[in-house]
Amino acid sequence: MRPPPHILVVNGIKVRRPVFVLAAPHSGADLLARALKRSPGFHVTMGRAAVAHVVYAFARRPSIAGRGMGATRVLRDAMAESWQIVPGACQECPAPCREAGGVTGAGPCVASGSVIRFGDASPDLLYSASVLLQAFPDARFVQLIRDGRDVAADMLADPASLTWFKPAMLSDETEFPNPFLGVNSGEHRERWKAMPTAGKCALRWRSAVRLSASLHQELPREQLLTLRYEDLVSSPAESLDGLSQFLETRVPKIALLGRSVPKVGVWRTRLRGQDAELVAKVAREELTRLGYASS
C-alpha cells in the first residue's frame, strides 16, 4: 500500500509530477538531463551533494532504503534541498550540471517564478527508484538503456567509475545481494576482487538493467518511459518527441542536435579482445534479451 500523499513545497512551488532519470553509468542520463533542463518550466538537478550522499548510502546498503517512511523522508528532504533556488546555489552543483544549464556566473540556472516542475538526473539514482516512488507517488520516471559493451568501454576510460572497483568496496560489512556492484552473495567476494575490471563493469551494467526491467512490474505504464541510448543518438528528434508526449511538455530538440556524444558501437575499437569476451560472457543474458548480442 502506498503512503498517503505528501505535498512538498519548494520555493513556494508545489512539487507535482517530478521527473527522475534512471540509467546505468554512461548510458545517456546526462544527455537527457540537458534536454530537460532546457525545457520550459523545468528545474532539473544533477548530482547535488544532498542527493548524492543519500543515493549512494541507499545503493551501497539497500537495507537502509527499506526502512519505511524514514528513508522516504530522508530522500524527499534531500531533493527539496537540491531544488532550492537561491543565490549561489548553482556554485554547489557539479560541473556537468552547471554546463548543461549554461551557468557561467554565480546566479541560479532558473528563475523561481518560471518553475512549475522539478526533476533530478543524478548518477545512480536508479538504486533509489522504489523510495522515490514512495516519496513522490505521482512521479514520472524515464530510464535509459545502452549496449552494455559500450557502457563497459566508457567506464574503463572513466576514473570516477573505476573508483568503485577497489577491493575495499566489498568489505566484511558489505550487504548482499549488492545490486550496486552486481554481486549476489558474500561467497563471491574474493572472486569479484580478482576479476578483471572489464568484468566488474559488466556486472554493474547487468545488475542495473535487471533493476530497470523490474521497474516495469512496479510502476504503472503512465509513469515509466524507457528509451534506448542508441535511438537518442541516431534519432534525437523522434526520441524527444516521445519524451515530450510522455511528460506532457515540450522538450527542445536543439538541446541534443549537433552535440558531440559517444558513438554507438565504440566497444569494437576500445575493448581489447579478452575484455570484450569477458563483458560478453558476464552480460550475455541481458545483451541477448535487449537485442544487443546480435549487433
Written as nine digits, the cell of 277 is 569476451
Residues 73 and 210 in one domain: no
Residues 86 and 192 in one domain: no
Written as nine digits, the cell of 25 is 553509468
Residues 79 and 18 in one domain: yes
Which of 10-24, 25-39, 63-77, 177-191 has the lowest average pLDDT? 63-77
Sign of the Cα pseudo-torsion (117, 118, 124, 126, in order): negative
Model pLDDT for residues 109-150, shown as the tens digit of each residue? 777 778 899 999 999 999 999 999 999 999 999 999 999 999
Among all chains, which residue has been given the C-alpha cell 549496449? 147
Residues 139 and 176 in one domain: no
Q: Tell me, yes or no, whether 173 lies in a domain.
A: yes
From residue 27, how far is each of 76, 80, 123 by CA, in Å?
Answer: 25, 26, 10
CATH at residue 250: 3.40.50
The mean pLDDT of 34-47, rounded to a whole number, is 90
Per-residue confidence at 6, pLDDT binned at 50, 70, 90? Answer: low
Q: Tell me, yes or no, whether 115 lies in a domain.
A: yes
Model pLDDT for residues 217-261, shown as the tens digit of each residue? 889 889 999 999 999 988 888 999 999 999 999 998 877 765 667
pLDDT at 117: 93
Phi, psi of 248 (to 5 degrees): 55, 45
Q: Tell me, yes or no, whether 48 lies in a domain.
A: yes
Residues 238 and 205 in one domain: no
Residues 178 and 275 in one domain: yes
Q: Tell me, yes or no, whether 3 lies in a domain.
A: no
Question: What is the pTM (predicted TM-score) of this model?
Answer: 0.92
Count of domains observed in the chain? 2
From residue 146, how far is each of 53, 153, 184 by CA, in Å?
Answer: 26, 12, 22
Written as nine digits, the cell of 290 is 535487449
Residues 82 and 203 in one domain: no
The domain containing residue 284 runs over which residues? 147-219+265-295
Residues 62 and 122 in one domain: yes
Cα-to-chain-centroid distance, residue 291: 21
Residues 81 and 98 in one domain: yes
Residues 28 and 94 in one domain: yes
The mean pLDDT of 202-228, rounded to a whole number, is 94
Per-residue confidence at 104, pLDDT binned at 50, 70, 90? Answer: low
Residues 23 and 128 in one domain: yes
Q: Tell me, yes or no, whether 189 lies in a domain.
A: yes
Q: Tell me, yes or no, whether 2 lies in a domain.
A: no
